[in-house]
């Protein structure tokens, strides 16, 4: 007899003593090796007529296979990297129901990148692969190629990883069944062999993604802000780094590598406001050197004109009270949403026309 159960679509983390009836969509063993020896656990995906959810089980009945309908009792729901996952422990039961059949929902919500929110599980999206790199990995003693980079549409960009599914730079893609996760404050989509990837011709153009700060409610990549810097953090300025380990130094010598030369870096954090809201922005030398007018090959300890005092004066002159164009990624942290600036420049006639077009679109 099947106990009262929840539909997968209704499952929310955190929750305990969950009962769900679903079909096994994938089931994989994995061995963890550590100082205490080897530990075997199982992971996979289950689904019903309302959706699907990943699971992890520290034990699993040997007679159950992919395609079987099971009743899972006393499971727990937890958040794992921005997505809900079902966990089975020693208290949990997995009961086979050979007489049952379930038609699993195979459709996924089609979203724009700018609409992706934390907690979304599986989505469909249309996007261009604007940057792609690859790396060979070993998983369960098998070699697999991981492709990673950025996907972009007309609302924003997002990082992606694709395990075993080849993607090339410039590909126009329709992706069904990509999973959403959060990593280091940024949202990412993951594509594996359960997702469907098709080359297509997109019906939109990639361009700038100007946003009003007041409309930003979740992490998203590739945004462009037109705003005024209203404050500059007191710890902004020149940073010393070890040329060997790249760690930030409080002194002019690395305690682990005392003979290694010192490198210069800049870090700044400041608040910007565009009239619809305000947000914290952080940036490093990649964005700031151009803004303050220093060439990268001149930004070295041998340049005696550069000091902590001169750098903070240049940051104050070029940031505080200035109208800025900031291109970067909105990320989530303990203090809420912020922007990691990748390119920062002053507002001038060359970009005012784009801002005017954006503002006029709000009234058409």
**pLDDT tens track for 23-76:** 998 898 888 877 778 888 999 889 888 778 889 999 899 889 999 999 999 999
> Which tens digits make up the pLDDT trace of 89-113?
999 999 999 988 888 766 577 889 9
pLDDT at position 57: 94
pLDDT at position 307: 93
Q: Classify residue 82 as exposed, middle or buried by CB count within 10 Å of its CB (0-12, 13-18, 19+).
A: buried
Q: Please report which residue ranges of 227-307 form alpha helices under DSSP H.
A: 285-292
pLDDT confidence tier of residue 364, bands split at 50, 70 and 90: very low
pLDDT confidence tier of residue 357, bands split at 50, 70 and 90: low
pLDDT at position 106: 60
pLDDT confidence tier of residue 229, bands split at 50, 70 and 90: very high
Listed in order, strand segments (DSSP E) in the chain are 15-34, 37-48, 51-57, 69-80, 83-88, 93-96, 109-110, 122-139, 142-152, 157-163, 172-183, 186-191, 196-199, 220-232, 237-242, 248-249, 262-273, 278-284, 323-333, 336-346
For the question of whether the overall pTM of this predicted structure is more than 0.85, the answer is: no
What is each CA distance from 208 to 71, 205, 275, in whole angstroms? 49, 10, 20
Overall fold of domain 213-361:
OB fold (Dihydrolipoamide Acetyltransferase, E2P) (2.40.50)
Q: Which residues make up the CATH 2.40.50.140 domain(s) of the chain?
A: 8-96, 109-199, 213-361
> The domain at 8-96 falls in which architecture?
Beta Barrel (2.40)
- Apex CA 118: angle with CA 338 and CA 187, to 5°? 60
> In CATH, what number does 109-199 get?
2.40.50.140
Q: How is 117-183 classified by DSSP, letter by letter?
A: -TT--EEEEEEEEEEEEEEEEEETTEEEEEEEEEEE-SS-EEEEEEESS---TT-EEEEEEEEEEEE
Q: What number is the average pLDDT over the span 312-340? A: 94
pLDDT confidence tier of residue 7, bands split at 50, 70 and 90: confident
């Amino acid at each position: 007899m099947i106990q009262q159960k929840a539909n997968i679509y209704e499952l929310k983390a955190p929750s305990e003593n969950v009962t769900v009836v679903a079909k096994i969509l994938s089931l994989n063993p994995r061995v963890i090796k550590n100082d205490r020896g080897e530990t075997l656990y199982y992971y996979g995906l289950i689904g019903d007529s309302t959706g699907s959810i990943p699971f992890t089980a520290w034990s699993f009945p040997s007679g159950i296979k992919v395609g079987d309908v099971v009743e899972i009792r006393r499971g727990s729901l937890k958040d794992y990297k921005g997505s809900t996952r079902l966990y089975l422990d020693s208290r949990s039961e997995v009961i086979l129901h050979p007489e049952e059949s379930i038609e699993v929902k195979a459709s996924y919500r089609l979203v724009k990148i700018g609409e992706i929110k934390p907690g979304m599980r599986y989505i469909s999206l249309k996007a261009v692969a604007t940057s792609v790199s690859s790396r060979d990995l070993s998983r369960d003693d098998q070699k697999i190629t991981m492709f990673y980079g950025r996907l972009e549409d007309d609302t924003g960009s997002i990082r992606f990883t694709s395990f075993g599914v080849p993607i090339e730079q410039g590909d126009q893609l329709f992706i069904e069944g990509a999973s959403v996760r959060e990593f280091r404050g940024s949202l990412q989509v993951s594509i594996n062999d359960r997702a469907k990837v098709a080359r297509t011709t997109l019906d939109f153009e990639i361009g700038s993604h100007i946003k009003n700060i007041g409309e930003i409610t979740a992490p998203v990549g590739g945004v462009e802000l037109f705003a005024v810097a209203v404050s500059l953090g007191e710890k902004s300025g020149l940073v010393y780094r070890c040329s060997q380990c790249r760690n930030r130094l409080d002194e002019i010598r690395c305690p682990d590598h005392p003979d290694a030369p010192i490198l210069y870096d800049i870090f700044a954090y400041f608040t910007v406001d565009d009239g619809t809201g305000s947000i914290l922005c952080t940036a490093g030398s990649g964005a700031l050197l151009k803004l303050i007018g220093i060439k990268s090959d001149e930004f070295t300890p041998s340049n005696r004109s550069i000091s902590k005092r001169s750098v903070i004066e240049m940051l104050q002159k070029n940031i505080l009270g200035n109208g800025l164009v900031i291109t970067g990624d909105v990320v989530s942290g303990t203090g809420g949403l912020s922007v990691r600036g990748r390119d920062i420049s002053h507002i001038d006639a060359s970009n005012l026309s784009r801002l005017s077009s954006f503002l006029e679109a709000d009234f058409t």
